[in-house]
Amino acid sequence: MNSRKRRNAEQGFATRAIHLGYDPSDEHGALTPPIFMTSTYAFESAEAGSEMFRGERPGYVYGRTRNPTQSLLEERLASLEGGERGLAVASGMAAIGSTFFTLLNAGDEVVIDHTLYGNSFAFFTKGLTRFGVTIRLADLTDPASLPRVLTGRTKVVYFETPANPNLRVIDIAQVSMAAQAVSALVVVDNTFATPALQQPLKLGADLVLHSATKYLGGHGDLLGGIVVGRAELVDRIRGHGLRVLTGAPLSPLNAFLILRGLKTLELRIERHSEAAQQVAELLADHPRVRNLSYPGLPSFPQHALARRQMRRFGGLISFELDGGIAAGMAFMNRLELITRAVSLGDTESLVQHPASMTHATYSPEERAAHGIGDGLLRMSIGLESIEDILADVAQALDRP
């Protein structure tokens, strides 16, 4: 490591997000890291290739497992999350798949919080259960419930905080302590908060994963996923889960775009959080709004925990309107600036209806039991001028 790279490792969050691991003098002075658009790598000799395959010689072999543009992204994300090693893959679901196919065997048990992104919930309850894995659901907002579902077979405890779509906040340190007591690994989906707001590894989690499609990329123009944690664990996920089982690497172009997104992550999250706080306050004062969830509101049930655990409260809000699903749909259709679309964390403000969209994988009974109301709406507050976002929400609420 040259001196510039060494210095990077000790610098602040935004500095590392912009510089860490890259020295322009290594690449003809190019300010921006190059995109290595290659699927395979030439071996210096036949023997060198064989040695690389045996892991006896460092170097790049084939793009399904490693690529230099990805490596830079992995190094930066690992630093921002406070972990040893990162792994970049094709999507958030690829991160979840590669991780769990590596960690689990038939007969193992996984504890999941009952509120997860719809396809993550389906991955566990409809996917892994086909292969002899038992899934136990828990309400992890109440850590006292955890010992009741942990058994000698529990391999992993998995949750999102804040959770998709209703933003429930889970105490990472408390859940990690309880899981450690039975030697279970804790895996946290940090997509909603990003490392700019919380770093689960520092609170006791073993692995953090992301849909990089959201805030990390930040511009709604790519799909990607990231896993970060101890080198031993992440190397296993790369060598087995990614290479052998999912075969879903991130493209070098998308690695480049996520590196570009990371440069403004801290700035963007500040602005998303500021705007969302203002929209949440507007909604809190409106007589037609019910079940409003935003961790930054003093009325939010876990506001004190959110304040302890998060630096700010992020860009997502969920709520229902008087009149339920029909009123919610009408509100969505009246919005003029805020775009009707799934996904989140983009520069554009987005609104969607979880029961019929992102969480349609839950049965109506599961949604009812897990606090995902049929009329619930989820907004991802973007980076447009805050007064324009507020005006759009206000007109859609008040127009008959």
Nearer to ligand 3LM, 16 or 268 (CB): 268
Catalytic pick from 214, 238, 268, 378? Answer: 214
State the DSSP H helix or E strand holding residue 379, giving kind and residue range, or none if neither: strand 377-380
Task: Indicate the length of the chain as a whole number.
Answer: 400
- Choice among 171, 189, 206, 346 that is catalytic: 189
**Nearest one of 218, 198, 217 to 208, comparing CA atoms:** 198
Reference 163, options 375, 374, 371, 373; nearest CA is: 371
CB nearer ligand 3LM, residue 85 or residue 378: 378
Q: How far is CA 63 from CA 39, 42, 172, in A?
A: 5, 12, 34
The answer to whether residue 214 is catalytic is: yes
What is the gyration radius of the CA atoms in the chain, in angstroms? 21
Structure tokens given for 269: 């999250």
Binding site for ligand 3LM (CB under 6 A): 91-93, 117, 120, 160, 164, 189, 191, 211, 213, 223, 225, 342-344, 358
Could you tell me the end-to-end alpha-carbon distance of the chain, in angstroms, rounded to an integer?
Answer: 63
The first and second tokens of residue 85, run together, are 């090693």
Whether 124 contacts 110, CB under 8 Å: yes
Least spacing, CB of residue 91 vs ligand 3LM, in Å: 3
- CB nearer to ligand 3LM: give 38 or 343: 343
CB of 318 to ligand 3LM, least distance (A): 11
Q: Is 189 a catalytic residue?
A: yes
Which three-class secondary structure state does DSSP give residue 6? helix
DSSP H or E run through 164: none
Q: How far is the CB of 357 from ligand 3LM (least distance, A)?
A: 7
Q: Which CB atom, from 91 or from 349, has the smaller least distance to ligand 3LM?
A: 91
Cα 115 to chain centroid distance, Å, stands at 14
Closest contact distance (angstroms) between CB of 383 and ligand 3LM is: 17
Please work out, in degrees rounded to the nearest 5, the angle formed at the alpha carbon of residue 321 by the alpha carbons of 334 and 391. 45
- The DSSP output letter for 135 is E
- In one letter, which amino acid is 113? D
Shorter beta-carbon distance to ligand 3LM: residue 20 or 316: 316
Residue closest to 168 by CA, chosen among 283, 73, 303: 303
Which among 4, 5, 57, 64 is annotated as catalytic? 64
Distance between CA atoms of residues 93 and 98, nearest Å: 8
Identify which of residues 52 and 90 has a Cβ nearer to ligand 3LM in the complex. 90
Shortest approach of ligand 3LM to residue 319 CB, angstroms? 16
Shortest Å, Cβ 118 to ligand 3LM:
7
Q: Return the number of the residue (52 or 383) whose C-beta is nearest ligand 3LM.
A: 383
Neighbours of 52 (CB within 10 A): 18
Q: How far is the CB of 106 from ligand 3LM (least distance, A)?
A: 25
Could you tell me where the DSSP H helices lie in 54-130? 68-81, 92-103, 118-122
**Can you read off the two tokens belonging to residue 349?**
């403000």
Task: Clarify whether 64 is annotated catalytic.
Answer: yes
Annotated active-site residue in 22, 117, 158, 215: 117
By annotation, the residues acting in catalysis are 64, 117, 189, 214
